[in-house]
Structure 1
Amino acid sequence: MIGRLLEAQLQQRWDSGKALVVMGPRQVGKTTLLTKLCQEAGAFQLLNADEADVRNQLENASLPRLRQLIGNSQTLFIDEAQRVRNIGLTLKLITDQLPQVRLLVSGSSSLDLANEINEPLTGRKFEFRLYPIAWKELVDSLGFMEAHRQLETRLLYGFYPDVVTHLGDERAILQQLSGSYLYKDILTFGGIRRPELLDKLLVALALQVGAEVSYNELARTLQIDRATVESYISLLEKAFIVFRLQPFSRNLRHEISSSRKIYFYDNGIRNAILADFKPLSLRADVGALWENFLVSERQKVLHYTGQWARSYFWRTHQQQEIDYLEEQDGAVCAWEFKWNPKAKARFPKPFLETYTPTQTLVIHRDNFDEFVGA
């Protein structure tokens, strides 16, 4: 099994007396990781909220019922907790009235779970995210050379655990993942009445990876209103399918301040949506794949290392641009992304003079490991 970087963070908080909440997309290994930790700790109770009878027992549960469910177990693991109504109140009851019980919670979507638990569990939880396999996790598992041999494969097929561990079956697995299964929570909780629009929106977003996205343009293309576009993209974010980067704008008059870029958490899902797994040598979107890979991997690095940094891109109306920025403790770092190590990139003089970044670097396929935490 590929070791997960989040394991160390969870172990550090294991006996904190607070609920440990792990959220992330379906099929990234949340159940596997938490079950492993529970087994190592001793007796535990696993309640899978995908099962109807489990949901019935946990909805509006009383303290006596919870005592009966947990029994003598030291640890309670509630899997897919977003499917339980009023789960926040149930979790609060456990943390307040059963302090001897170690409480673990997983959720495949923040659609309902975040809203349900934030207020009841204020001061009673630590929240984490588990992503698809990180590049560093792949390197730690396979070794530096073998991981680099797989770089093109990973740019095409991504990092979902089943995809990584089943070489040769990637397309079939991604076809299953990128269908309704991955969007199950959106369709269940999001109130989407026209799923076909979701498919069209995903294709449009997949084609615009690395480019600025206009909600008004998407609305015209899909023949829907802008508010619906914003709502659907918000749902896709809460289901951990895509995430947004906002433009960095502080001082310069001609900086773009109202657009955004949208990336996929996983290259494989992006390519599956387009049904396009051609090798890199035959693709016109290698730059977009490389950028999506680097930006999504960087989000994993920031989360797993506990760095509090804000991520941006930068662009002016004169087409001056920088692919990716981070702002941390008042300092700004800037990176340009090029697949070809020989490609040249220059950082615009107005940006350098105005923001005096502490680091500027071009990231290419020969020097990317440190950027993605390996």
Structure 2
Amino acid sequence: MITREAQTEIAQLLEEFPAVAVLGPRQVGKTTLAETIATAISPNPIYLDLESPTDLAKLQEPEAYFELHKGQLIILDEIQRVPELFATLRGVIDRRRREGYKTGQFLMLGSASLDLLKQSSESLAGRIAYKELSGLTATEIRSSHVGDQNRLWLRGGFPDSFLSKTDAASLRWRLNFISTYLERDVPQLGPRIPAMTLRLLWTMLAHNQGAQLNMAQLGANLGIAIPTTKRYLELLEDLLLIRHLRPWSGNAGKRLVKSPKVYIRDSGITHALLNLTDMDDLLGHPVVGASWEGFVVENLLSCLPVGATPWFYRTSAGAEIDLVIERNRQQIYAIEIKRSMTPVLSKGFYLGCEDMGATRRFLVYPGRERYPIAKDVVAISLAEMMEELRSI
């Protein structure tokens, strides 16, 4: 059993809010985590899968059903499938508040972030807290002693993929996951999108992992218009499958790039789209450096405290920093990422640090030892960098 680091935070949110929404892609472990939390904090918790006709039938009269189970934590899985429930939940929560039931009433799970946020933000404003659940992280597998960092990098953070018996079995799981998303989940979200076109787009993003977004080039390669390309990218982002990392824009005196960088969020999905089965395949592929960068970025962003904002920094003059973490406009962490046991920093990193006024400077590399690599720059492991960010 892998203990998820989000477990404590979600349990705390349930002590402070009537409703908590946990957002994450399918198969990332939301249901298992929710049931673990519910068993620990609530007598006889109720679980309803809103994609199940049987469970949906129980909510024909939702207010009556919720009244029947007052005092029990109710888990509503795939909540975005039944948006009309949000208005009902508002009335139920307000009525219970007057009766003394103030927190820990509903735990909602959703696999499409933007839809869920739009539907719930107005109806449940002030009554709901959100927590995004990532895949398994480097610190979670280290503390649970279930595998090493390279295995996590290769297979990605989906628990079923990571825990597969062999690399080949893991790859088969991920290929089926990709097909299921394209053929089953995407068509349920709105106007029909050709599965082959979306797969090609996803694969192009894998080949260009961490590159700056060029909407015109992507559209031209797919034979579709720029607005259509933009819509497809937004869909993948809403499904929590890709991430746009925005460029830092705090220095008006520099010619900063304006296009975001795009990452496929799970390294295992990146490798599956490129048909990379094992570490030999990965280490021999041109994507290896960009894949490592995306893996590190996703792990670091999974542990950011509230109020910390991620960016990257790049100017037309060559100053460049892979990841910038800013908090309260006073703390600026400059983080360079290198897939090398003997990493060397470029002049562009130092220029970027000076431009931004970075307060802390780090280089994340695959080793375990922490040591100063240059003036004011520390070489550090991924897991230790995650602990640094948790403490800012």
Taking structure 1 as the reference length, the TM-score comes to 0.90
State the partner residue of 2:364.
363
* Partner SS, residue 98 of structure 1: helix
Match of 2:112 among 109, 113, 131: 109
Assess, with a 3 A threshold, how the Cα gap between structure 1 residues 342 and 263 changes in structure 2: closer, same or farther.
Answer: same
Instruction: After TM superposition, list the pairs within 5 Å mapping 1:203-218 onto structure 2.
Output: 203-218=203-218
Once the two structures are superposed, residues 192-214 of structure 1 have per-residue CA deviations (whole angstroms, 9 ceiling, x without a partner) of 33222211110111111122121
Q: Which runs of 5+ in 1 are unaligned?
A: none
TM-aligned CA deviation for residue 221 of structure 1: 1.2
TM-aligned CA deviation for residue 152 of structure 1: 2.3
Contact conserved, 2:138 with 2:152, CA < 8 A, in 1?
no
Counterparts of 1:183 and 1:115, CA distance in 2: 25
Counterparts of 2:92 and 2:340, CA distance in 1: 54
Counterparts of 1:112 and 1:241, CA distance in 2: 14
TM-aligned CA deviation for residue 94 of structure 1: 2.6
Instruction: After TM superposition, list the pairs within 5 Å mapping 1:1-374 onto structure 2.
Output: 1-40=1-40, 41-58=42-59, 61=61, 63-68=63-68, 70=69, 74-99=72-97, 100=101, 102-142=105-145, 147=147, 150-168=148-166, 169-181=169-181, 184-251=184-251, 253-278=253-278, 279=280, 280-302=282-304, 306-330=305-329, 331-348=331-348, 349-366=350-367, 367-368=380-381, 369-373=383-387
Assess, with a 3 A threshold, how the Cα gap between structure 1 residues 107 and 324 changes in structure 2: closer, same or farther.
Answer: same
* Partner SS, residue 244 of structure 1: strand
Contact conserved, 2:320 with 2:352, CA < 8 A, in 1?
no
Tell me which moved more, 179-188 or 319-328: 179-188
Counterparts of 1:234 and 1:203, CA distance in 2: 16
Counterparts of 1:151 and 1:205, CA distance in 2: 23
Counterparts of 2:193 and 2:337, CA distance in 1: 39
Counterparts of 1:253 and 1:26, CA distance in 2: 43
Tell me which moved more, 175-184 or 207-216: 175-184
TM-aligned CA deviation for residue 267 of structure 1: 0.3
TM-aligned CA deviation for residue 353 of structure 1: 3.2
Contact conserved, 1:109 with 1:185, CA < 8 A, in 2?
no
Once the two structures are superposed, residues 257-300 of structure 1 have per-residue CA deviations (whole angstroms, 9 ceiling, x without a partner) of 32111112210011112222352432222211110111000111
Counterparts of 2:163 and 2:351, CA distance in 1: 46
TM-aligned CA deviation for residue 95 of structure 1: 1.3
* One-letter amino acid of the structure 1 residue matched with residue 27 of structure 2: Q
Contact conserved, 2:247 with 2:311, CA < 8 A, in 1?
yes
Counterparts of 1:351 and 1:132, CA distance in 2: 31
Contact conserved, 2:186 with 2:193, CA < 8 A, in 1?
no
Taking structure 2 as the reference length, the TM-score comes to 0.86
* One-letter amino acid of the structure 1 residue matched with residue 25 of structure 2: P
Contact conserved, 1:26 with 1:182, CA < 8 A, in 2?
no
Counterparts of 1:192 and 1:204, CA distance in 2: 21
TM-aligned CA deviation for residue 253 of structure 1: 4.7
Q: Higher relative contact order by CA 8 Å / sep ≥ 6: 1 or 2? A: 1
State the partner residue of 2:372.
none
* One-letter amino acid of the structure 2 residue matched with residue 213 of structure 1: L
Counterparts of 1:182 and 1:329, CA distance in 2: 40
* Partner SS, residue 332 of structure 1: strand
RMSD: 2.2
* Partner SS, residue 310 of structure 2: strand
Counterparts of 1:7 and 1:259, CA distance in 2: 35
* Partner SS, residue 277 of structure 2: coil
Contact conserved, 1:210 with 1:291, CA < 8 A, in 2?
yes
Q: Which runs of 5+ in 2 are unaligned?
A: 368-379
TM-aligned CA deviation for residue 92 of structure 1: 1.3
Contact conserved, 2:314 with 2:352, CA < 8 A, in 1?
no
Counterparts of 1:238 and 1:262, CA distance in 2: 14
Assess, with a 3 A threshold, how the Cα gap between structure 1 residues 19 and 154 changes in structure 2: closer, same or farther.
Answer: same
TM-aligned CA deviation for residue 314 of structure 1: 1.4
Counterparts of 2:35 and 2:337, CA distance in 1: 38
TM-aligned CA deviation for residue 351 of structure 1: 2.7
* One-letter amino acid of the structure 2 residue matched with residue 158 of structure 1: G
TM-aligned CA deviation for residue 340 of structure 1: 0.8
Counterparts of 2:182 and 2:194, CA distance in 1: 16
Counterparts of 1:347 and 1:119, CA distance in 2: 48
Task: Tell me how many residue pairs correspond in the alignment.
Answer: 363
Contact conserved, 2:71 with 2:105, CA < 8 A, in 1?
no
Contact conserved, 1:43 with 1:73, CA < 8 A, in 2?
no
TM-aligned CA deviation for residue 355 of structure 1: 2.0
